Structure 1
Amino acid sequence: MKTIKTLLCAAILTVGASSAFAHGNVTCKEYPKNEWRPHTELQQKLEKEGWVIRRMEKTATCYEVYAKDPKGKRIEAFFDPKTFERVEEE
């Protein structure tokens, strides 16, 4: 019985974690890495706009930001690394 509960808990955590990190098809314009602006500059820009940044990552073509937007909503957003324009799902 203990094994079944353990497996059930593991399954629930796996499903929850995968949906938390799931995102749609997002592709930024490709630039050479030397043309990317520093992610700290993006963080400062967003914080001035009222965002609370939890984590930032670099994907192959975008900056991926996990944050609370100015309205307090938890979001995962993608930004062009050269222009800092937000990139929406395709």
Structure 2
Amino acid sequence: MKRVLITTLFLSAIGAGAASAADLCSVPESEWQPQDALQKQLESEGVTIKKIKIDEGCYEVYGTDKDGKRIENYYDPKTFSLVKAQED
């Protein structure tokens, strides 16, 4: 019985960790702002947008910054705050 309890707790902990790590942004879709609004905001900051898609629960933006460097950034879909940035 003790072995079954330990195994169950272990498997539950693994499952909980995997579920919480699945999405970088965890905002209910009902609270998301439209992609167009993010695009307008970024373009006003000098970013040229190539593509916006949804990945890890965030808006993932491909494009170039105002200095012409390629970017692949993740933005919170509710607040548009930068969550993760990658530059070339």
Alignment partner of 1:78: what SS? strand
* CA spacing shift, 1:49–1:76, aligned 2, 3 Å: same
Give the superposition deviation at 1:60. Answer: 4.0
Alignment partner of 1:58: what SS? strand
Please name the residue that 1:42 is paired with: 38
RMSD, aligned CA? 1.5
* Larger relative contact order (Cα-Cα within 8 Å, sequence gap ≥ 6): 1
Q: TM-score, normalised by structure 2?
A: 0.67
Whose radius of gyration is greater, 1 or 2? 2
Give the superposition deviation at 1:34. Answer: 0.9
Please name the residue that 2:76 is paired with: 80
Please name the residue that 1:27 is paired with: 24
Q: TM-score, normalised by structure 1?
A: 0.65
Matched-pair identity in %: 46
Structure 2: which 5+ runs fail to align?
Answer: 1-22
Q: Aligned residues, how many?
A: 63
Structure 1: which 5+ runs fail to align?
Answer: 1-25
What are the equivalent positions in structure 2 for 1:45-64 lying under 5 Å apart? 45-64=41-60
Deviations for 1:11-64, whole angstroms, at most 9, x for unmatched residues?
Answer: xxxxxxxxxxxxxxx812x11111000010000000000000000001241000
